[in-house]
Amino acid sequence: MTVQRVLGRVRLSRLTDESTSVERQREIIEGWAKLHGHTIIGWATDLDFSRSNRPFDAPEFGPWLQEPKMHEWDIVAGWRLDRFGAGSINMNELFGWCQRNGKTLVSVTESLDLSTWTGRLVASIIAGVAEGEVEADRERALGSRSKLRKLGRWPGGQPPYWLRPVKTEDGWKLHLDPETVPITRQIITDFLNKKPIETIVQKLNDEGHPSPRDWHRIRSQKAAEAANKPYTGKPPEGFKWQWQTVALILKSQALLGYVEHRGVIERDDKGLPIQNAEALLTPAEFDQIQAELARRKEGRFHREKNAGPLLGIAVCLVCGRNLHHKTQRTRGHVYRYYTTRCKHSREIRAEDLEAVTAQMVIGVILGGFAVHRREFIPAEDHTAELEAAVRGLEELAQMAGTAQSETARETLQRQMSALDARIAELEALPSRPARTELRPTGVTYAEEWERLDEEGRRELLLNTGIQVAANKNREGRIRIEVILPDDLRERMGIPADQPYGLSGGDS
């Protein structure tokens, strides 16, 4: 009998897997190798690795299928065929690789040896059956998760950043996480205080707060340690906070405790949102965030590298497009300019345009006037509930337009009818809608300008809606006009036809 070098293959989808344990799988493989007089030279043990994945992608098994480790063994032996994977495509890929490289794959409890034609035929059939089982498992899992969402339970996965899963008598629910709630509230506070999202992201990263993806892994590690169990998930990888991450938090209706799946709220038979979590915000607070998001989307908040103090404020006098900040380093000196992509103007020295803007806008036009802030006035009485019901009806109407099955259309129609009746009831009640109002702060623009830094001054100008239109012709002559929005003119009592502008040579 020829002694063969055996690689033991062990795999579990989860450590809580009810199938044969790691120790038992190794014991069976070792018994088989001893019976046949073979030598085990190593183990390819993958935990928390689904059978639906490619064997070549397995963290432990994959390297044994590549240079140089592929030359260290002759037979790979597993407890059952599904320890190698599932699906005819994945398994046939592995079978073909073994044949091309003179390797043998053995399922020790199923007496399958791929060195024989019969073994390969039976293995292909088993792999096809396993593929069907994987698809069936996937369908059952999706159906189960959908059912749990409808029941207001947490179906698993990565929860929203400010929530943590807690097991209750009624199944898994989401509770506020005391470690991340303060960070989430600070994000919201900074956002409502008109700080750019990029600034918020930079602050989160500078302070060393783990991103939501890393925090989920850290929390899972802590839970495993507290339960005296080994952690089998992926380790934290130092993912940074991103602009999109913060934006998704601000838009998420899970802040209200609602069950949200792929951006859509799950609703009961009456069309009302289903809850599976503690609410972090009231509807009025959530509406305030959405109002600020809408204001920024409609306004002139821009993200641009090398943004100058007048980005979004300085525009081309000819076409109205933004002037862009440009930095040039020559012989150790840094020169800054505002330039156009429309070619209607030559470059304008940044220091000149910024100084003139401050002189005209703060020194001449706004300096003595009180700064006004937009304040969010929450809805009173039943307005918040009414607005939520109207939003829900609109969402359901959109879904009804794309529903394919009669069952889905009937379900949506019942929900819409229930919401319609509820809206009629709420409309009959006295209410006042949420709104924003401009209110004086008691501080003048000149006083505010003096205490702010560069970023704050830009925010101050952006909030006024003022634009500074500039142009520099070939002769070096610069023309600058300040464009005041109608509401600002009205508050200041400035006639609509009164211009503000100047022109002169380049200094």
pLDDT tens digit sequence for 160-213: 899 888 887 777 788 899 999 999 999 998 888 778 888 899 899 999 999 999
In a domain, 270, yes or no: no
Contact 190, 200 (CB under 8 A): yes
CA separation for the pair 412, 403 (Å, rounded):
9
If asked whether residues 221 and 235 sit together in one domain, one would say: yes
465 Rama sector, left if φ>0, alpha if ψ -120 to 50, beta otherwise: left
* pLDDT above 90 (res 41): yes
Average pLDDT score over residue span 276-305: 74
In a domain, 160, yes or no: yes
pLDDT score recorded for residue 189 = 87
Contact 183, 204 (CB under 8 A): yes
pLDDT score recorded for residue 64 = 94
pLDDT tens digit sequence for 407-423: 777 777 877 788 788 77
pLDDT score recorded for residue 507 = 43
If asked whether residues 124 and 35 sit together in one domain, one would say: yes
Residue 213 belongs to domain with CATH number = 3.90.1750.20
If asked whether residues 357 and 425 sit together in one domain, one would say: no
In a domain, 305, yes or no: no
Least-confidence region, from 315-319, 380-384, 452-456: 380-384
Average pLDDT score over residue span 329-334: 83
In a domain, 321, yes or no: yes
Average pLDDT score over residue span 89-101: 79
Average pLDDT score over residue span 216-240: 84
Distances (CA, A) of 63 to 14, 44, 79, 495: 21, 9, 20, 77
pLDDT score recorded for residue 378 = 62
Least-confidence region, from 177-181, 209-213, 293-297, 435-439: 435-439
In a domain, 468, yes or no: yes
In a domain, 306, yes or no: no
Contact 372, 491 (CB under 8 A): yes
Q: Using alpha carbons, select from 158, 164, 250, 160 the residue that is nearest to residue 200.
A: 250
* pLDDT above 90 (res 428): no
Beta bridge partners of 406: none
Tell me the average pLDDT of the chain.
79
Strand blocks (E) in 267-323: 314-316
Contact 270, 412 (CB under 8 A): no
pLDDT tens digit sequence for 1-23: 577 899 999 988 755 444 447 88
pLDDT score recorded for residue 371 = 86
What is the reported pTM? 0.49
CA separation for the pair 206, 8 (Å, rounded):
46
pLDDT tens digit sequence for 53-68: 788 888 899 999 999 9
**Backbone φ, ψ for residue 338 (5° rounding):** -110, 130
- Residue % of the chain over a pLDDT of 90: 16
Contact 376, 433 (CB under 8 A): no
Counted domains in the chain? 4
If asked whether residues 330 and 458 sit together in one domain, one would say: yes
Q: Using alpha carbons, select from 146, 144, 142, 151 the residue that is nearest to residue 171.
A: 151
Average pLDDT score over residue span 446-458: 87
| CA 63 from centre of chain | 33
CA separation for the pair 219, 174 (Å, rounded):
14
If asked whether residues 362 and 253 sit together in one domain, one would say: no
In a domain, 303, yes or no: no
In a domain, 144, yes or no: no
If asked whether residues 44 and 105 sit together in one domain, one would say: yes
Average pLDDT score over residue span 293-297: 80
Q: Residue 348 in 3-state DSSP?
A: strand
If asked whether residues 62 and 76 sit together in one domain, one would say: yes
If asked whether residues 178 and 102 sit together in one domain, one would say: no
- Confidence bin at 301 (pLDDT 50/70/90): very low
Domain range enclosing 53:
5-137
CA separation for the pair 205, 49 (Å, rounded):
31
If asked whether residues 237 and 159 sit together in one domain, one would say: yes
Give the contacts of 277 (CB within 8 A, at least 6 positions apart): 154, 159, 160, 163, 173, 174, 175, 254, 257, 258, 259
If asked whether residues 33 and 95 sit together in one domain, one would say: yes
What the block records as the tokens of 187 is 């994000």
If asked whether residues 346 and 485 sit together in one domain, one would say: yes
* pLDDT above 80 (res 465): yes
Strand blocks (E) in 73-195: 75-78, 104-107, 112-113, 163-168, 171-176
If asked whether residues 351 and 399 sit together in one domain, one would say: no
